[in-house]
Structure formats: structure tokens, C-alpha cells
Amino acid sequence: MIDDDVLGPLTDDALTRDFRVYQRAKGHRFSSDDLATAFVAWHARPSAKRVLDLGCGLGSVLLHLAWKMPDATFVGIEAQAMSFELLRRNVARAGIAHRVAIHHGDLRDDDAIEKLGRDFDLVTGTPPYFPPGAASDAMDEQRAYARIEYRGGVEAYVATASRVLARDGTVVLCGAALANARVQDAAASAGLALHARCDVIPREREPPLFSVWTLARDRVASEARTSSMTLRDAAGERTADARALRAFSGLE
């Protein structure tokens, strides 16, 4: 445990085989949704050269992909001051600042969007899951802003992604499994189409906890591919899917 004067107690955790990250001990922490997002994004566009991560928090998705894509350049934007400070430290620590540009700003703001650039091959994001009012007053501020749609939900992420995406680019977003209709509506409004959905099930025989959607700019009216991954079996043991995610990070 690290006692930081600015951010409070921090933990030092393995993200991939070669990258470690600082996280607030009692704040927002990376989880299986970040790993699944990076996993799906890499499989969707493994040869991407320009990648943007929206609302990148402490950098877990961005850093996963930077580790898997050593020839790509990255841009990230994060609004929360505490998360941005962790992002800054984690990017510097990984030794990849020369190919990563990070911005402290709101992904909905026109001026902030202009600074990001255009023509990204791949855009990723893990929007908050819950509407305002779903957090208790006692919740840590960093955790609350990562979970609650105070600065917009999946619609805001899709709208911004569509503005900066290359013509043949791909968008990969993660959110609550119940948000599928919202994602489809947002994609249609932004001139994107839903190509695939992967439902992530925390434990065998339980309903999906979250989904990862793959969007692209074409409007071909075809049914989206659907798949799923289950992280624990009925006995609570790691599944082959969970081991594949760890292998993706070089930890298995």
C-alpha cells in the first residue's frame, strides 16, 4: 500500500505481464469489464494504428491495448481529476508516453473533441452504467462518476466516437447488459451500425452482467453477431473464458 498525499492510499497492481498500474484503494478500480473491452477491441482491430479511448479513467483499457499494439499511437480523454492523475502516472510508468497523448476534459465538449484529432481506426470506451440518483451520498466521488451517468451515458460516447472515427473505423463500447436498445438507438442516430454484441456472464446460470458492443460506420441491415463469455462456473472456479482473458494480458 502506498500512502499518497494527493490521492490517498494506492495499490500497485499488475494489469498485464509488463504493465502495472496505481489504483486508489477505496476508489474506482479496473475490473473484468475493462479487460473484456480491451479483449474484444483487439480482436476486432488488431492492426489498428490510431486508437482513441474515451473516458479512460486510470488507463486500464488504453494500457491493455498499448501493450498488445506496440506499433499503434493512442489518445485518451478523462474528465475526473483524480482519475486523470492516475492515468498520467500510469502512462508515464509504462514508458509509453512517446506514443500516448492524454487530455483532461469532458468527452462531450466541442473544444475537447477538437483536440483529440480525427480518423481513428479504433475507438473504445466503458461508459457509466447507472442513471443519476442510483448512487448513495456516501459513495466515493471517483467511484460515483465512473458508475453514474453524471456526464452522459453510452449515447454521449457513441456520438463522440462517430465524430472522430475513420470511415472504415471500429467502435467498441462496454456497458450494462440491459442497455442494448440504447446502444442500437444511439448507433442509428450517429450513422453507425451494431455489428456484434458479447454478453459477459459473471457466473454460470446467472444473467449477463454487462455487454461489449462492436459498431462500425456502414449501414448494412444485417443481424449483429452475438456471443458470450462466462467468467466462473457453477462452483465458482475460473472458466476457459476467464483463463483466455488472463492469457490475453500475459498473466496466465
Within a 10 A sphere around the Cβ of 68, how many other Cβ atoms? 18
The model's pLDDT over 218-230, given as tens digits with 9 standing for 90+, comes to 755 567 899 999 9
Q: What is the pLDDT of residue 175?
A: 93
Q: What is the pLDDT of residue 113?
A: 97
Q: What is the pLDDT of residue 111?
A: 97
The larger pLDDT score, comparing residue 174 to residue 4, is at: 174
Provide mean pLDDT across the span 46-54: 98
CA–CA dist 117, 216 (Å, integer): 18
Is residue 162's pLDDT more than 80?
yes
Three-state secondary structure call for residue 87: helix
Q: Work out the pLDDT band at 131, boundaries 50, 70, 90.
A: confident
Element (H, E) at 212: strand 210-216
* Rounded (5°) CA angle 55-60-61: 70
User: First-to-last CA distance in the chain?
Assistant: 24
Q: Lowest-pLDDT range, 83-97, 133-147, 229-243?
A: 133-147
Each domain of the chain, given as residue ranges in start order, spans 31-248
Residue 238 phi/psi, 5° resolution?
A: -60, 140
Q: Which residue has the cell 494504428?
A: 49
Contact 59, 87 (CB under 8 A): yes
Provide mean pLDDT across the span 33-48: 97
Is residue 136's pLDDT more than 70?
no
Q: What is the fold, at CATH topology level, of the domain defined by 31-248?
A: Rossmann fold (3.40.50)
CA–CA dist 9, 18 (Å, integer): 23
**Which amino acid, residue 89?**
R
Q: Could you tell me how many helices (H) and strands (E) the chain has, helices first?
A: 8, 11
The model's pLDDT over 179-215, given as tens digits with 9 standing for 90+, comes to 999 999 999 999 999 999 999 999 999 999 999 999 9
Within a 10 A sphere around the Cβ of 23, how many other Cβ atoms? 22
